[in-house]
Structure 1
């Protein structure tokens, strides 16, 4: 066996251990109870399955697929937090952050997507080795679960990324938890930064304006999460005929997006995958009957989590694809 194969086998063993620990919990409550979601996140975190930096880079995509195939059927909220910590860790590792060793050993979330906006959302002034930030960070998930955040801001014609504590401090005001129909346990909040001081040693990276948008790679993370929900939905089907057909079609779409590298084609496959899983979930609920709406039932949770994941990262191109798909069925 090659060293890379041994690394992947080790990761799979750790992930299987994490799955076993999770299965001992009342998983349906992870969507609404923050304390239980925090416990579940801790169980998974302690197995090391989020620590991709311990494995060869060529294994990361396989690991990510297996991670979301494992987590998403058990808890969409938990899988969503996994997206956050993987992104934060990747930014620190890719930029060789000086304090990386310290912060990779902490639970770190992310509030950085506003760097893709055409305007400055969070600005800063620099003085005597300190950056003073002002602005509003929106949709920061994991309050009370993550210890720190990677945040983005503009300063002197550059875009910056920095690690900050995820807790109320002078100049760092955490708003009320956003109430949604899914994922409330994640405690998603807005943060007001008002002359909030960040020491220079906490700066992860600085780049020309627009670099974050320009460097955004073709990602399959949402495909992986939607597919994971699809696997859970197929397993929950009671009608054998429907289950066989759903399993076959889901496998075909999975093979298509795993082998695809073109961004436009991946967008189209994401729409197809979403609609397929939605049909699987809806058909399963109908065939199950009224019992399917109980909170302890998986299918109604998959329905809500499916919408949550598909709402993530919707750009104009994806919205138009969904619009075209709608009109094609009329």
Structure 2
């Protein structure tokens, strides 16, 4: 029964993406308000918690269904696909946590869109001294250092952050994505594409995170092992973008009726 419901949700989601999102893709690439509207429409359709368990308001999508959704949304809007993926990743990370109280506090809100979350993991990839460290103190942890890459500033309210501990483990916790004495954000970065995603960096100065807001601790090489898996997991975005290119070719054929265009599109689609 659950699989049938998930398939129905997926089909309805794809119809929405093709009919509502795709015609607005160019606007979402440049307009923050248009992008926020797209996220709101995803929330209205229950599409922001695809990897969360149903008990928290999520859809509980298996890998195949989620990748199909990711491929289709990338086919329809690169900006919306990029930003919502940050949130879906945060949802997935928290859903796998053993901290049930934290899950019950955040997941229903993240799934409904009442609140949204980004992720900040890129600092783990830098060799040498930790860019962001987590130190255990009474009642929780203190973060110090820098988050060099955080997407969704002004869009998301929360962020799942990763940092290295003194004993070389990887710490994960939830922080609020807002300026404070302990979190100082840069202006939005000028990027070659998808600048609308509101990517910033942040200086982290003795930011206290309660033990209640910790997801888990993992072995220190977690990010490198995870990256090897993620190489394959990013294929839905490439496939979606390739399919979008074929869509453009077919659109041109409808206007010019040059048979070579549709033959080329057919060949490319077969390869895809």
Corresponding residue of 2:103: 100
Classify the secondary structure of the residue corresponding to 2:75. coil
Classify the secondary structure of the residue corresponding to 2:4. helix
Instruction: Tell me the TM-score normalised to structure 1 length.
Output: 0.69
**Contact (CA 8 Å) 1:17, 1:47: kept in 2 or not?**
no
Corresponding residue of 2:248: 236
**Structure 1 residues 61 and 244: alpha-carbon distance in aligned structure 2, compared to 1, 3 A threshold:** farther
Structure 1 range deviating more: 37-46 or 58-67: 58-67
Matched, 1:137 2:147: yes
**Contact (CA 8 Å) 1:11, 1:63: kept in 2 or not?**
yes
CA distance in 2, matches of 1:166, 1:4: 35
Corresponding residue of 2:256: none
**Contact (CA 8 Å) 1:18, 1:47: kept in 2 or not?**
no
Deviation at 1:197, TM superposition (A): 1.3
Deviation at 1:204, TM superposition (A): 0.7
Match among 167, 184, 192 for residue 195 of structure 2: 184
CA distance in 1, matches of 2:73, 2:86: 14
Classify the secondary structure of the residue corresponding to 1:167. coil
Match among 45, 48, 51 for residue 50 of structure 1: 48
Corresponding residue of 2:67: 65
Classify the secondary structure of the residue corresponding to 2:192. coil
CA distance in 1, matches of 2:266, 2:237: 16
CA distance in 2, matches of 1:162, 1:193: 14
CA distance in 2, matches of 1:101, 1:19: 33
**Contact (CA 8 Å) 2:17, 2:76: kept in 1 or not?**
no
**Structure 1 residues 17 and 102: alpha-carbon distance in aligned structure 2, compared to 1, 3 A threshold:** farther
Corresponding residue of 2:125: 116
Match among 168, 176, 182 for residue 171 of structure 1: 182
Structure 1's unaligned 5+ residue stretches are 255-330
Corresponding residue of 1:323: none
Structure 1 range deviating more: 95-104 or 225-234: 95-104
